[in-house]
């Protein structure tokens, strides 16, 4: 099986003056890696991995075109010639393996998400219309600033060309500044940049003209735009099509259209910036297909296209000409090459969890992947170092952390045997995939198990590890990855109430009544997922949060969409409470800040989502063992799959 299975995906594409070797590209996405607004070694290594993995095109993340474009504290900037050497390094690195590189010219307008120094910055927009997500009231742009920003786009494009890039992409997507000018509900101007459709389009047209004047006809110029902003006040699909049709008629204008969905301006629209696993695959393709009907140039698309089979379908149905597969290549930089070679089973599929990619970005850290923490850490873990001495390694526990440690250690040359007490690998991931809309999470088990298989790990199931087994096997090192169990804190009067834990509910081991309270200490996907499951089962559900909102510890696009689902299902959410006690029909809570009681009556079942406690007895059993003992994951400290897999990588690399 070879690339003949994907005749469209691995055919070349002409975009302006540039020929792309295939139809897979990495979309522009902020990595949080630049330092002082410039490209650094870490970012070059990150893009090198995807270029070497077979991508046809890499679009480097947004670069500010004006000082007022600093929407975050770590944004790349293209406002001075200092950016040129960094672009040149990325271009030369990617060109060596036949991968083309475009840059993104960007201004957020009112969509300012962070301060530079703790004080609120001034945001500039067409008009003084605030956004809903960041609660920013912008300053209307004077004509002088309009002219400065337009010139900034052209100057940024010139610098990208001087840096050896192959093209530039104007970011008019997600409710950013060009989209704000297009939107009649955001652009209330009465001068030549507002009012009519033609006037609202003037800003974009002048940007394109300024770029063309500074880069010439042979440099690729494209535009990224949301086919539908999915926002109550956002650009509609019809308004987007009108703009694209008009722009396409301008001679010497755009060379391509990159279609996405969503808007930064609202919580509902922002979910589509990086859509989580609950959203169907390739769902943006119909928007791209609509744009394709009104333009004559190539149309790109992205949005939950995680597998080469999905991309091939989009291309074969002529909905688009190029597929963005960004998270697919964060999870597996070598995905394009594997697909072209027919090694489909070797592809590590993205599961759309959003935890370490966009989740890291929102926390201000360089992006990575919970399944493949080597992503974003290429300088440290990109090339496994062969073991100096082959050792016998025993791994106790087949959850994500244990599997990763085993795979990495074996790939480095060690002889590794993994023992799992249960009949299935996966640990808590087996439960996580049972939550509504989280079935895709089970892919982490498939992917890590295959990594172990490729690395030559011996797997023994239905065999718990104890000191006796270790003594018999006499390994050189033991990796303890024995996980955790549900935490069952003591509560007043709990013996009189029907109390179960979230694990029992997921396993179908609990007979849950019709009126349920979920006491959610972790404020993560467990409480949200159990609430949705029980509400869909017909229960009246009250989700009681030991925090200020449900899901506060998880990535906001996952959380915000889920909270909307719970609202539709009639789940009652009670924040700022801690569990105190329960009796036969009542659950007693305490408000976290006032200290006052919160009493809920008529309760059939109390469901505990109180986190986990570590299972680490093996560590104590091995206190007299002479070999090396390492702990990874929840048996060290209960957290998430991300930490378990990362620790597995670190331990597997260090053994």
Domain boundary among 336, 353, 379: 379
What are the tens digits of pLDDT across the range 378-436? 999 999 999 999 999 999 999 999 999 999 999 999 999 999 999 999 999 999 999 99
Looking at the structure, tell me whether residues 275 and 210 fall in a common domain. yes
Q: Is 299 helix (H, G, I), strand (E, B) or coil?
A: strand
C-beta neighbour count of 151 within 10 angstroms: 16
Distance CA 466, CA 420 (A): 12
Looking at the structure, tell me whether residues 650 and 602 fall in a common domain. no
Do 109 and 69 touch, CB atoms closer than 8 A? no
If you average pLDDT over residues 615-625, what whole number do you get? Answer: 95
Placement of tokens 């080469």 in the chain: 308
> CATH number of the domain that 394 lies in?
3.40.50.720
Distance CA 134, CA 614 (A): 38
What does the pLDDT read at residue 105? 98
The alpha-helical segments, DSSP class H, found in 456-524 are 467-473, 502-507
Q: What is the DSSP letter of 3?
A: G
330-334-335 Cα angle (round to 5): 80
Looking at the structure, tell me whether residues 165 and 251 fall in a common domain. yes
What does the pLDDT read at residue 3? 63
Looking at the structure, tell me whether residues 190 and 149 fall in a common domain. yes
Distance CA 254, CA 329 (A): 27
Residue 441 has pLDDT above 50, yes or no: yes
List the domain range (segments joined by +) for residue 65. 3-379
The total number of structural domains in the chain stands at: 3
Looking at the structure, tell me whether residues 539 and 400 fall in a common domain. no
> CATH number of the domain that 564 lies in?
3.50.50.60
Looking at the structure, tell me whether residues 370 and 469 fall in a common domain. no
What does the pLDDT read at residue 1? 37
> CATH number of the domain that 306 lies in?
3.20.20.70
Looking at the structure, tell me whether residues 537 and 632 fall in a common domain. no
Distance CA 18, CA 216 (A): 14
Looking at the structure, tell me whether residues 472 and 581 fall in a common domain. no
Residue 164 has pLDDT above 50, yes or no: yes
If you average pLDDT over residues 333-355, what whole number do you get? Answer: 97
Domain boundary among 379, 396, 414: 379
What does the pLDDT read at residue 289? 98
Looking at the structure, tell me whether residues 374 and 510 fall in a common domain. no
Looking at the structure, tell me whether residues 177 and 254 fall in a common domain. yes
Looking at the structure, tell me whether residues 262 and 393 fall in a common domain. no
Domain boundary among 354, 379, 404: 379
Beta bridge partners of 486: 612
Looking at the structure, tell me whether residues 269 and 145 fall in a common domain. yes
Distance CA 173, CA 180 (A): 10
Distance CA 474, CA 479 (A): 13
Residue 59 has pLDDT above 80, yes or no: yes
What are the tens digits of pLDDT across the range 565-598? 999 999 999 999 999 999 989 999 999 999 999 9
Distance CA 59, CA 18 (A): 14
Distance CA 363, CA 617 (A): 34
C-beta neighbour count of 363 within 10 angstroms: 10
């Amino acid at each position: 099986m070879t690339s003949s299975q994907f005749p469209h995906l691995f055919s070349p594409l002409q975009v302006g003056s540039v020929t792309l070797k295939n139809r897979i590209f990495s979309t522009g996405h902020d990595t949080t890696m630049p330092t002082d607004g410039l490209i650094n070694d870490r970012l070059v290594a990150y893009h090198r991995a995807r270029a070497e993995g077979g991508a046809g095109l890499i679009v480097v993340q947004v670069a500010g075109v004006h000082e007022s474009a600093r929407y975050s504290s770590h944004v790349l900037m293209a406002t001075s010639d200092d950016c040129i050497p960094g672009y040149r390094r990325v271009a030369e690195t990617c060109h060596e393996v036949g991968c083309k590189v475009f840059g993104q010219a960007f201004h957020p307008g009112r969509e300012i998400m962070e301060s530079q120094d703790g004080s609120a910055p001034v945001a500039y927009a067409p008009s003084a219309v605030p956004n809903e997500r960041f609660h920013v009231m912008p300053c209307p742009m004077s004509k002088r600033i309009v002219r400065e920003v337009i010139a900034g786009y052209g100057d940024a494009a010139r610098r990208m060309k001087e840096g050896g890039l192959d093209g530039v992409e104007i970011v008019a997507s997600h409710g950013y500044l060009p989209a704000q000018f297009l939107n009649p509900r955001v652009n209330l101007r009465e001068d030549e940049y507002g009012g009519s459709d033609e006037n609202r389009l003037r800003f974009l047209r002048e940007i394109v003209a300024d770029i063309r004047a500074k880069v010439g006809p042979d440099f690729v110029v494209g535009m990224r735009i949301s086919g539908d902003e999915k926002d109550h006040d956002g650009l509609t699909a019809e308004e987007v099509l009108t703009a694209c049709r008009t722009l396409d008629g301008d001679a010497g204008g755009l060379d391509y259209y990159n279609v996405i969905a969503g808007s930064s301006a609202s919580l509902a629209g922002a979910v589509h910036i990086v859509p989580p696993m609950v959203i169907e695959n390739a769902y943006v393709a119909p928007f791209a297909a609509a744009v394709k009907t009104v333009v004559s140039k190539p149309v790109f698309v992205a949005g939950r296209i995680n597998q080469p089979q999905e991309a091939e379908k989009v291309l074969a149905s002529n909905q688009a000409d190029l597929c963005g597969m960004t998270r697919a290549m964060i999870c597996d930089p070598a995905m394009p090459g594997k697909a072209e070679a027919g090694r489909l089973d070797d592809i590590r599929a993205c599961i759309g969890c959003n935890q370490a990619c966009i989740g890291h970005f929102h926390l201000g850290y360089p992006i990575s992947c919970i399944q493949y923490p080597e992503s974003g850490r290429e300088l440290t873990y990109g090339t496994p170092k062969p073991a100096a001495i082959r050792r016998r390694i025993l791994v106790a526990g087949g959850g994500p952390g244990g599997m990763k440690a085993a795979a990495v250690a074996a790939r480095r040359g060690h002889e590794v045997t993994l023992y799992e007490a249960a009949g299935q690998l996966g640990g808590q991931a087996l439960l996580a995939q049972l939550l509504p809309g989280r079935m895709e999470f089970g892919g982490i088990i498939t992917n890590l198990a295959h990594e172990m298989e490729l690395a030559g790990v011996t797997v023994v199931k239905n065999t718990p590890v104890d000191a006796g087994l270790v003594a018999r096997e006499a390994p050189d090192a033991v990796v303890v990855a024995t996980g955790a169990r549900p935490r069952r804190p003591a509560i007043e009067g709990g013996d009189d109430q029907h109390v179960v834990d979230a694990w029992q509910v997921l396993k179908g081991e609990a007979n849950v009544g019709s009126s349920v309270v979920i006491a959610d200490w972790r404020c993560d996907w467990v409480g949200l997922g159990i609430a949705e499951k029980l509400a869909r089962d017909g229960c009246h559900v009250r989700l009681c949060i030991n925090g200020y909102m449900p899901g506060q510890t998880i990535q906001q696009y996952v959380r915000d969409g889920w909270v909307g689902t719970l609202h539709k299902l009639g789940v009652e959410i009670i924040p700022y409470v801690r569990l105190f006690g329960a009796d036969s029909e009542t659950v007693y809570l305490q408000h976290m800040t006032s200290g006052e009681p919160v009493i809920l009556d008529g309760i059939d079942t109390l469901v505990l989502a109180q986190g986990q406690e570590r299972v680490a007895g093996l560590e104590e059993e091995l206190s007299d063992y002479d070999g090396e003992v390492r702990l990874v994951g929840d048996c060290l400290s209960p957290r998430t799959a991300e930490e378990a897999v990362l620790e597995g990588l670190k331990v597997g690399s260090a053994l």
